[in-house]
Chain A
Amino acid sequence: MWKWLHPYANPETTYHLSDRVIPWFGWLSGSLLTIGLVWALLFAPADYQQGDSFRIFYLHVPAASLSMGIYLGMAIAALCGMVWQLKLSDAAVAALAPVGAVFTAIALFTGAAWGKPMWGTWWVWDARLTSELVLLFLYLGVIAINNAFEDKQMAGKAASIIALVGVINLPIIKYSVEWWNTLHQGATVSKLGKPAMSLEMFWPFVVCFLGFAFFVATVTCIRFKTEILLRNSSRPWVKNLMLEQAE
């Protein structure tokens, strides 16, 4: 059953696979984001309470949910690395962390810029905001540990442990709006069940979300290639590849 997966434990095969999918992901992301953002900014109706400030939603919510999704992906990669000793997993963890950190920063920043007009404050130390800030620090920790060791294998192991321990933060972020009293509103869009918003507002959100998701895929593949090259730089296939590209 898992046989089709085996070739992708080979860095060379996976490097070439990432190489091939990058243009597809890139174009998909570019077109979906163009359509989605024009739809969201120009055509979606304004919120009856929040007016046009609600349009920040189309950046804030995809960024926030992707910041958690990327973390989950990174933690799964870390787990695979520890259980099956896959070296590629370390490369995946190292590739995902900076992307996740940027999306977390965007979620926090746009949240602040949305909170100011709606709540009257840029920042409060409540559960949702604080746990999302902790997520940013977890990402920064993984990045810092990856850069702190000369030996990539040791760095990968240490970073994976941090990534795994940090998973505890994900349910805290997700349920923070239910467990504690908070300024932050509850979930508007959930995976199961109908969205708690009109479909005119919901569809542009879906397009924006997919656009950002493919953006994540594109950038992650680029970074993944870099990490694979750095970890396999003395292998013959990398040498041949470099010689081919130099010609």
Chain B
Amino acid sequence: MQFDSITAFLDMGGYGFFVWLSFGFGFIALLILVLQSKSALKRAKSDIAKRIVTEQKQKLAAQQQNNHR
């Protein structure tokens, strides 16, 4: 262990601001990347599922119309 106390750890030998600014930015950027990637996959799946449902409904409606004739 390089640091004697939590305050020493946070202070980073006087460079605390720069070290934690860097790691904070990195953490937030990567977190946003993961969340955005996951939500994009979810959105793509639900969009495709919705389109399939609409297509099936249209097919069904077309069939019913044919049956009535």
Contact = CB atoms under 8 A, between A and B. Distances in A.
Interface residues of A, number: 41
B21 interface: yes
A158 B18 CA distance: 40
Contact of A52 (B19, B33, B49): B19
Contacts of B12: 51-53, 55
Interface in A45-72: 45-46, 51-53, 55-56, 59-60, 63
Contacts, number: 103
Contacts of A113: 18, 21-22, 25
B41 A225 contact: yes
B44 A52 contact: no
B59 interface: no
Contacts of B48: 229, 233, 238-239, 242
Interface of A: 37, 41-46, 51-53, 55-56, 59-60, 63, 98-99, 102, 105-106, 109-110, 113-114, 116-117, 215, 219, 222-223, 225-226, 229-230, 233, 238-239, 242-243, 245-246
A18 to B, nearest CB: 11
A59 B37 contact: no
A102 B51 contact: no
Interface residues of B, number: 32
Interface of B: 1-3, 9, 12-15, 18-19, 21-23, 25-26, 29-30, 32-34, 36-38, 40-41, 44-45, 47-49, 51-52
Contacts of B30: 102, 106, 215
Nearest to A245: B45
